[in-house]
């Protein structure tokens, strides 16, 4: 910990200065709010620039905690409150030489967020939004989730000892429902899509005193996700990769990656010149389609193996599109079979087992190298955001085992055929 961070009183306050409308710039106090009351555009957290500049240096970050709180000057929660949570972050940035040479590109790295406390990147946005609910005096917390957010919110609620309500579409992968329930949350399965669950969460958030991390606390939520990009830059020795490939559901993660990169460059910690590319499954690709057509049109009935990304009406779609275009990135939409191939490719080449959301990223990496969009001399970082162990069922048909009797010769037969 830096001496600056230890100065008296320092750890118990945030340097966030308010919420600001992204469109008209109107300022609001830090409060429960996701949109501007004048123009209805989303609001975002901004910070006291002079205070951040004084405290955020390469050295202060590298001496900070081994989790997202090393970036506390650019997070909306005080350090002393933040570290009472699940403390995600500083996940490995893995060199993937096997994958790079298989696909014919100079350098591929995986930012491995499969090893966060609840095995997805969602622990990051929860870490910076859930404690705000407590600070604002709300009586409970919750989320609308495609799966991973349910577990992350529930685990963090357990740490902070607050009641938790998660709304999910009925029929999600069992392990995700099971873990959210094991962490003690009230799990509400809605007969409908994610978008139905999300609409209900919006109504409940208005009516009851509950902080829904990705609804009425959304500006704080985005702040946690930006640490994913900041860590990548730090782990590359304060250099940006040529490109990052980001999976998109609501588009919040990609928007946060853009904010993280531009804030680092604002404080002189990077050059701000990374192409940010987004990918969605073909069966639910409202943002990627809008990259071609110009307009984000909701998908009524998402149909994809990548459940985590099955958001038909993306809340941050336009913002994500703006970040992709502004940085010169691509938007892509691989098919389900390419997604599963991508998942297995990463497992077999690099020993990293991701869920289909990560397979979507690897599928786009392959497609865009093949069509020449990604140059062969690029350094590409793939954001691998969720763990495959939570989502096993669609891979059952690709399991290959050999069943033998308790007999040496039978084992030898299998053994020789593999050599």
Ligand X SMILES: *Cc1c(COP(=O)(O)O)cnc(C)c1O
Q: Which residue lies nearer to ligand X by CB, 85 or 356?
A: 356
Residue choice 6, 7, 27, 39 for contact with Zn ion (CB under 5 A): 39
What the block records as the tokens of 115 is: 């090893």
Three-state SS at 306: coil
Q: How far is the CB of 109 from Zn ion (least distance, A)?
A: 38
308 binds, among Zn ion, ligand X, none (CB under 5 to 8 A by kind): ligand X
Instruction: Give the x/- contact pattern for ligand X in 383-402, rule: CB under 6 A.
Output: --xx----------------
Residue owning tokens 């904010």: 259
CA-CA distance, 126 to 212, in Å (whole number)?
10
Q: Which residue lies nearer to ligand X by CB, 78 or 343?
A: 343
Q: Which residue lies nearer to ligand X by CB, 55 or 259?
A: 259
Question: Quick check: 120 binds ligand X (CB under 6 A)?
Answer: yes
Burial (Cβ within 10 Å: 0-12, 13-18, ≥19) of residue 238: middle
Dihedral over alpha carbons 30, 33, 36, 37 (to 10 degrees): -110
The CA R_g of the chain, rounded to the nearest whole Å, is: 21
Map the footprint of ligand X across residues 132-191, applying CB under 6 A: 146, 148
- How distant is the alpha carbon of residue 109 from its chain centre? 17
Measured from the Cβ of residue 403, the count of other Cβ atoms closer than 10 Å reads 6
CA-CA distance, 23 to 10, in Å (whole number)?
32
Q: Which residue lies nearer to ligand X by CB, 2 or 308?
A: 308
CA-CA distance, 144 to 199, in Å (whole number)?
9
Question: Quick check: 36 binds Zn ion (CB under 5 A)?
Answer: yes
Question: Quick check: 247 binds ligand X (CB under 6 A)?
Answer: yes
Q: Which residue lies nearer to Zn ion by CB, 35 or 233?
A: 35
Spell out the residues 6+ positions from residue 137 whose beta carbon is closer than 8 angstroms to its own: 209
Q: How far is the CB of 22 from Zn ion (least distance, A)?
A: 8
Window contacting ligand X (CB under 6 A); options: 39-47, 155-163, 251-259, 393-401: 251-259
Through-space distance between the first and last CA atoms of the chain, rounded to whole angstroms:
52
Window contacting Zn ion (CB under 5 A); options: 29-37, 122-130, 192-200, 299-307: 29-37
Q: How far is the CB of 362 from ligand X (least distance, A)?
A: 13
Residues paired with residue 28 on neighbouring β-strands, in sequence order: 19
CA-CA distance, 219 to 30, in Å (whole number)?
10
Question: Quick check: 304 binds ligand X (CB under 6 A)?
Answer: no
357 binds, among Zn ion, ligand X, none (CB under 5 to 8 A by kind): ligand X
Question: Quick check: 250 binds ligand X (CB under 6 A)?
Answer: yes
Give the sheet arrangement for strand 43-47, strand by strand: 27-28, 16-21, 43-47
46 with 18: CB under 8 angstroms?
Answer: yes
Q: Which residue lies nearer to ligand X by CB, 233 or 252?
A: 252
Number of residues that bind ligand X (CB under 6 A): 18
Within 294-407, where are the H helices? 317-327, 336-350, 356-370
Residue choice 19, 21, 228, 333 for contact with Zn ion (CB under 5 A): 21
36 binds, among ligand X, Zn ion, none (CB under 5 to 8 A by kind): Zn ion
247 binds, among Zn ion, ligand X, none (CB under 5 to 8 A by kind): ligand X
Residue choice 109, 197, 253, 374 for contact with ligand X (CB under 6 A): 253
- How distant is the alpha carbon of residue 157 from its chain centre? 19
Question: Quick check: 308 binds ligand X (CB under 6 A)?
Answer: yes
**Could you list the residues that contact ligand X (CB under 6 A)?**
120, 122, 146, 148, 247-253, 308-309, 311, 355, 357, 385-386
Write out the residues near Zn ion by the rule CB under 5 A. Answer: 21, 23-24, 26, 36, 38-39, 41
């Amino acid at each position: 910990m830096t001496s600056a961070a230890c100065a008296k009183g320092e750890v118990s306050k945030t340097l966030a200065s308010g919420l600001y409308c992204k469109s008209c710039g109107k300022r609001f106090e830090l409060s429960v709010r996701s949109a501007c009351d004048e123009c209805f555009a989303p609001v975002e957290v901004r910070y006291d620039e002079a205070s951040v500049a004084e405290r955020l240096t390469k050295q202060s970050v590298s001496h900070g905690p081994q989790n997202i709180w090393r970036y506390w000057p650019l997070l909306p929660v005080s350090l002393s409150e933040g570290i009472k949570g699940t403390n995600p972050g500083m996940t490995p940035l893995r060199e993937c030489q096997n994958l790079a040479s298989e696909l014919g590109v100079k350098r591929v790295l995986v930012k491995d967020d499969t090893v966060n406390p609840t095995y997805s990147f969602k622990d990051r946005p929860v870490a910076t939004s859930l404690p705000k609910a407590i600070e604002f005096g709300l009586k409970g917390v919750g989320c609308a989730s495609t799966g991973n957010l349910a577990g992350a919110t529930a685990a963090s609620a357990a740490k902070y000892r607050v009641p938790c309500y998660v709304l999910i579409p009925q029929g999600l992968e069992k392990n995700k429902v099971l873990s959210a329930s094991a962490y003690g949350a009230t799990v509400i399965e809605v007969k409908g899509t994610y978008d139905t669950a999300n609409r209900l969460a919006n109504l409940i958030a208005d009516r009851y005193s509950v902080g829904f991390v990705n609804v009425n606390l959304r500006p704080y939520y985005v702040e946690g996700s930006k640490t994913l990009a900041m860590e990548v830059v730090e782990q590359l020795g304060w250099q940006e990769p040529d490109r990052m490939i980001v999976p998109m559901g609501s588009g919040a993660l990609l928007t946060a990656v853009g904010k993280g990169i531009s804030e680092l460059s604002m404080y002189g910690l990077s050059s701000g010149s990374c192409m940010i590319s987004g990918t969605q499954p073909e069966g639910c690709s409202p943002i990627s389609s809008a990259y071609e057509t110009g307009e984000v049109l909701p998908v009524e009935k998402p149909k994809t193996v990548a459940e985590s990304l099955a958001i038909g009406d993306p809340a941050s779609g336009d913002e994500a599109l703006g970040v992709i275009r502004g940085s010169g990135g691509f938007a892509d939409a691989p098919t389900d079979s390419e997604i599963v191939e991508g998942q297995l490719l990463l497992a077999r080449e690099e020993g990293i087992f991701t869920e289909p959301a990560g397979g979507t990223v690897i599928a786009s990496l392959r497609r865009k190298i093949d069509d020449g969009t990604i140059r062969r001399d690029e350094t590409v970082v793939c954001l691998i955001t969720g763990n495959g162990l939570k989502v096993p069922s669609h891979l059952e048909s690709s399991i290959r085992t050999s069943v033998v009797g308790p007999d040496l010769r039978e084992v030898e037969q299998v053994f020789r055929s593999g050599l």
